[in-house]
Amino acid sequence: MADKNDFSSWSWRSPTKITRNNILRHLKRLAPKYASGKLADLGCGVKPYHAIFEPFIKSYLGVDFAAAAEKNYGENTKADIYADCIDTKLESEIFDTILSTQVLEHISDPEKYVGECYRLLKRGGIGIFTIPFLWPLHSEPFDYYRFTKYALEKLFMAKGFDIIELGPMEGAYAALIQAKIISVYMRSAEKESILRKIHRRMAGFFLVPFLNFKALYLDNLFWNDKLCLNYYLVVRKKQII
């Protein structure tokens, strides 16, 4: 059986294939371009991107917040250490690369978190982030924020980072289709009638693969970057402070 955390193996019937496919695609592009040396994965969960970054780095340290990791992943969590990601207690300036995917929205104090990332990186070190913009509440109650690209620029530049790359991972066409799929799947099972459950299962078998295909292959044709599911962000700690 394929590893359920290997996003490349997820079925076309997956209700989150659009967003996961785009995260995977962008990280595969960014890893060889920017990753090096010692890497810290903050909010690592099950380390789903370890294999992507491993060829380009010397070491990979997974860090996660114990309460959130237990709620989301349980015994499948692959953290090497458990710590609050706004105050990891790790030594300053020891990492060449920081990776943090779909984590910033779960941080109660984003400014402290970005400051901690800055502290952990060596001068000239690189931070690689993915951040949701359009997504429903998840991992509750640890879901606090959504950020525009301008908010991200302001937040990271205020802490001393240079912005290297920042952009949407998908356009409005894919974002709206993903929202449609979520509206089919993310219902309370306790409130569903038998007919509704049958409809949802039929949609998962026939409609969702078609919508996933449309979103992933036609998004560029109908490109509009004013709405997206996620942003990717690459920053560099200044060489001279």
CATH assignment of the domain containing 37: 3.40.50.150
Note whether residue 2 is domain-resident.
Answer: no
How many residues would you count in the chain? Answer: 241
Are 118 and 144 part of one and the same domain?
A: yes
Instruction: Quote the number of domains for the chain.
Output: 2
> By residue range, what is the domain housing residue 110?
7-171+226-237
Position 162 pLDDT exceeds 70: yes
Position 47 pLDDT exceeds 60: yes
Are 165 and 178 part of one and the same domain?
A: no
Note whether residue 203 is domain-resident.
Answer: yes
**What burial letters (b/e) apply to 161-198, b meaning 16+ CB within 10 Å?**
beeeebebbbbbbbbbbbeebbebeeeeeeeeeeeeee
Q: Mean pLDDT across the stretch 172-192?
A: 80
Q: What is the pLDDT of residue 12?
A: 87
Q: What is the reported pTM?
A: 0.90
Map tokens 């490109």 to a residue.
223
Q: What is the pLDDT of residue 186?
A: 62
Average confidence score pLDDT of the chain: 90
Are 81 and 131 part of one and the same domain?
A: yes
Are 160 and 177 part of one and the same domain?
A: no
Are 186 and 118 part of one and the same domain?
A: no
Note whether residue 1 is domain-resident.
Answer: no
Are 183 and 233 part of one and the same domain?
A: no
